Amino acid sequence: MSLLKTILESQGGAVAGQLAKQFGLDANQASSVLNQLVPALSAGVKRNTSQQSGLDGLIGALTKGNHQRYLDDASHVSQQATVDDGNKILGHLFGSKDVSRQVATRAAEQTGVSSSVLKKMLPVVATMVMGGLSKQSNSGAGGALAGLLGGGQQQSAGQSLLTSFLDSDGDGSVADDLLGMLMKR
């Protein structure tokens, strides 16, 4: 299951519904926003995990961060602690607030939702992305978390997890998805 689908379907859609409610959006707008922000955050994860230290950081966050709670309980969407955690995640993924602002501006152009609202949503969506990745890695699908933690044959399971995470159109190739993200710039 794609990361976006994991987020949209969490708690029967309650998490996405709470996100929409908190930011004054309807369900279609929230879905559109998630369709724009999740791939941008995925690209940040891809950049970070291209280096061993970034991959190690992601593994550490997935094993210690309890990020799955953001998708298991819709009430987390409206908590200040979620925003604080999301801002830390954004710092790791993008490195600067300028990049976060650019992501929000691009998403605003695509969705019609104001960039000021998207700037406030971005940290919450970042926690959802980590929650989705945590949920997928803990699901036991192909021993993905074990693959991330191990080496050899298990490493391919970790790479498979990242590939499925970044493969937004579900065609099995990350290259076209990354190219599409770059073309939107």
183's tokens? 């073309």
Question: Between the CA of residue 14 and those of 17, 76, 131, 168, what are the distances in Å?
Answer: 5, 11, 14, 22
Q: What is the pTM of this model?
A: 0.75
Task: Say if residue 160's pLDDT is above 60.
Answer: no
For residue 83, the model assigns a pLDDT of 94
pLDDT one-digit tens code per residue, 115-146: 999 999 999 999 999 998 888 877 654 333 33
Per cent of the chain over pLDDT 90 is 38
The Cα–Cα gap between 149 and 66 comes to: 17
| pLDDT mean across residues, the chain | 78
- Does the pLDDT value for residue 158 go beyond 80? no
pLDDT at 174 exceeding the cut of 70:
no
Task: Provide DSSP, 69-91.
Answer: HHHH-GGGGG-HHHHHHHHHHHH
Question: Does residue 166 carry a pLDDT above 90?
Answer: no
DSSP result, 30-45: HHHHHHHHHHHHHHHH
pLDDT(157) > 50: no
